């Protein structure tokens, strides 16, 4: 049986290539709203980030979201995203571990 190709994406902060499911997607919707997309299926332009707070802070410092999303990102949006990121970080890590357990079977 042919092995499935796992989609790879690059973290906008640390520039590390990882499987898409191991990264958190930040999306700019067609209306211009910027938010976290844990499903990875919301419409709009996306930027991927490792599930680590240190990567988020690096992306904020280097304005990586502005380049990746091709739009200016205000400090208020960065602050809101950081609060949301901290909230979902634990859930994301737990889901990633559960997915890893399923792959072993």
Question: What pTM value is reported for the model?
Answer: 0.82
Alpha helices by DSSP H, listed for 1-63, are 53-62
Domains of the chain: 8-99 (3.30.1230.10)
Over the stretch 20-60, which tens digit does the pLDDT of each residue have? 988 999 999 999 999 999 888 999 999 999 888 889 999 99
Please provide the average confidence, as pLDDT, over all residues in the chain: 87
* C-beta atoms surrounding 70 within 10 Å: 10
Integer Cα distance of 64 and 47 in angstroms = 9
Give the model's pLDDT for residue 19.
93
């Amino acid at each position: 049986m042919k092995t499935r190709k796992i989609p790879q994406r690059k973290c906008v902060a640390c520039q590390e290539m990882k499987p898409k499911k191991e990264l958190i997607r930040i999306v700019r919707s067609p209306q211009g709203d910027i938010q976290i997309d844990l499903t990875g299926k919301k419409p709009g332009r996306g930027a991927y980030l490792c599930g680590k707070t240190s990567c988020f802070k690096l992306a904020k410092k280097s304005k990586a979201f502005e380049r990746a999303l091709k739009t200016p990102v205000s400090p208020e949006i960065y602050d809101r995203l950081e609060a949301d990121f901290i909230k979902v970080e634990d859930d994301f890590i737990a889901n990633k571990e559960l997915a890893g357990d399923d792959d072993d079977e």
